[in-house]
Amino acid sequence: MNLLVFGQTGQVARELARIAPEAGFLGRAQVDLSRPDDCEDAIRARRPDAVINAAAYTAVDRAEDEEALATTVNGAAPAAMARACADLGIPLVQISTDYVFDGSGTAPWRPEDPTAPINAYGRSKLLGERGVRAADGAHAILRTSWVVSAHGGNFVKTMLRLGAGRDRLTVVEDQIGGPTPAADIAAACLTIAGQLHADPGKTGTCHFAGAPEVSRAGFAREICAQAGLSCTVEGIASSQYPTAATRPANSRLDCSTTQAVFGLARPDWRVGLTHILEELKA
């Protein structure tokens, strides 16, 4: 399959490059998502068999001050990709986020549940979802959460850095979700792209997140334990750790649709964490 990937240096894009090095990758030097028309032109020029959008504006806190830019990159650019893909009969896999929900309650969010983002990043990603659907082509909107890998900036690397120099860490205990290794997201995107190419009727929105659910503090404890760090992790309330962008308290995702439609089970993030730590050591 002739695959085109938007993104080159992000966590998922780097994992895609490992398992699908034959794909075409468009980084910012080739296509800047702040110019959505360029995204559409790139697809029309290359005419691949499928497109995965693994590029995004991901600076959640900074997006509160740069919402216009985040909206262009996360909203207008995917919509432009989707229009080109729909015109050419090409399936598009768009990576989205649990942040499109408001984080209320304790039940896992289903794909059909009402969206109500509580920060600028979530609003920008929701606009991207709407733009992809509006193009009316074959697509999969894959919502995921708490992405981690050995690359870039993420929760695992932050906890390792802080835990190595301190005896005690304070981490929020009231945000619950499923950490998701970027390697597993990349593999899922490839599977979904291939199945959509063969059967456009699988079009829709689905969820893919690591299991089991855990608090951010619980995740931090597992990171420290696997890394052999002796620091203690104390759970605190989100109100004790204010951030520019409010995070959802409930980021649980119901992934049963993904299992039923694409045959993809939820990955065990603890296994993924082991692999990430091994790579960082190497």
What gap in Å lies between CA 83 and CA 71, rounded to an integer? Answer: 17
Tell me, what DSSP letter sits at residue 171? E
In the three-class reduction of DSSP (H, G, I as helix; E, B as strand; rest coil), residue 80 is classed as helix
Q: How far is CA 257 from the centre of its chain?
A: 17
Q: 3-state DSSP call for residue 143?
A: strand
Answer for the pair 48, 92: CB distance below 8 angstroms, yes or no. Answer: no
For residues 178 and 251, the answer to whether their CB atoms sit within 8 Å is yes
Instruction: Give the H or E element holding residue 279.
Output: helix 269-281
Residues of the chain by 3-state class (helix, strand, coil), percent to 5 = 45, 20, 35
Residues 143 and 253: their CA atoms lie apart, in Å, by 8
**Which residues belong to the active site?**
121
